[in-house]
Amino acid sequence: MVQSDNKQREYSRAEVSRHDNAASLWVIRGNQVFDLTSFHTDHPGGSDIIMQFGGQDITDALRDSDVHVHSIEAYRVLKDFYIGEVMAEDRWEHKQPAGGKDEMDCVDDVEFLDIHKALLPQMWRSNFTTEFYIREVHRPRHLPRPAVFFENSFLEKFTRTPWWVIPLYWTPIMSGLLYLGAEYESAQVMTIGFVFGLISWTLMEYSIHRFVFHYDENIPQGTVYQFAHFLLHGVHHFMPMDPLRLVMPPALSTFLALHILALMSCVFSPGMLHAFCAGLIVGYVLYDECHYWLHHGTSQNSYLTQLKSYHLRHHYKDFKAGFGITSDFWDKVFGTQFATPEH
């Protein structure tokens, strides 16, 4: 609903209560009204949790540890969906949080990137300090549609990668490697190499995410380095629910794969090299598809639910921990689990 520039729109609680379904989902928080219709399917905790509170006041629920205590970043996202105020006669008095300051008042307004405009030209023309950039790029924002990278529509097409492109692109390459490798080694050796590559991917997944994608504070000062960081992984933390920026574009993954292939060719002989790399590819495809699901999928399986919660905590609470995607095994090995348990 379009609000007047001159007069703030006010709603009764009865009117808000009628917006309690997936087609129109409103909530009240601190006597302010928010329209979550375009957001509930992208809610990190799942759509069902928000649907329970459709048309209701969620002020206390957001602070309830039995439900889930939300971080300030959650309030930052919520603020983007503000549509008006509760009318005077329907306003409630809510108990202030322990700190004495309302959470929404803790959301600071900073001039970073305008998510409603092309992002890459803004990044290229920026002059942020490294400290400011790293802090702001890890504060999640949300749009009900994919973000725009380029003002040019032709260039924009190359920045968008649907999840199904990954298996479509890599499966023939993986099959070709196995076919060529069979010319050098027996099926038994090929199987061993493939399994070894598949298992090795889990460590590679962790290492790339921790040491390459999250080089973060170590990046040199300057716009060019921030621009590169933003393209590689920063944009994913900035817009974590963008469905077309959740899997790696084939051009970038191929560039990384060629470097890995060059390195592995110094270690393995033909045949074993083909099998090992084929195993890495399968591990990578499973990782990328799993990563997409962790952001947009739902399941009643307890392990998958825990894995989803683990990864989204990395995005919404602590980007300096929880680097495992398909498993937290290597986080346990290297001590990069979250400092405190999730509540």
> 70 labelled as ligand-binding?
yes
> 43 labelled as ligand-binding?
yes
Closest CA to 202 of 304, 283, 276, 307: 283
CA distance 81 to 39: 9
> 274 labelled as ligand-binding?
no
CATH topology of domain 10-106: Flavocytochrome B2; Chain A, domain 1 (3.10.120)
Domain locations in the chain as residue ranges: 10-106, 136-334
> 259 labelled as ligand-binding?
no
> 291 labelled as ligand-binding?
yes
Which DSSP letter does residue 24 get? E
Residue type for 70, please? H
CA distance 59 to 63: 7
> 296 labelled as ligand-binding?
no
Q: What is the pLDDT of residue 3?
A: 43
Distance spanning both ends of the chain, measured CA to CA: 35
> 314 labelled as ligand-binding?
yes
Q: What is the pLDDT of residue 108?
A: 77
> 229 labelled as ligand-binding?
no
> 236 labelled as ligand-binding?
yes
> 233 labelled as ligand-binding?
yes
> 142 labelled as ligand-binding?
no
Residues 190, 196: contact at Cβ < 8 Å? no
What is the DSSP code string of 149-167?
--SSHHHHHTT---TTHHH
pTM for the model stands at 0.84
Q: What is the pLDDT of residue 285?
A: 97
Q: What is the pLDDT of residue 326?
A: 94
* pLDDT tens over the chain, length 343 residues: 334 444 579 999 999 999 999 999 999 999 999 999 988 888 877 788 889 999 999 998 888 766 666 778 888 889 889 999 999 999 998 887 777 788 888 887 788 999 999 999 999 999 999 999 999 999 999 888 899 999 999 999 999 999 999 999 999 999 999 999 999 999 999 999 999 999 999 999 999 999 999 999 899 999 999 999 999 999 999 999 999 999 999 998 999 899 999 999 999 999 999 999 999 999 999 999 999 999 988 888 889 889 998 999 999 889 999 999 999 999 999 999 998 766 5
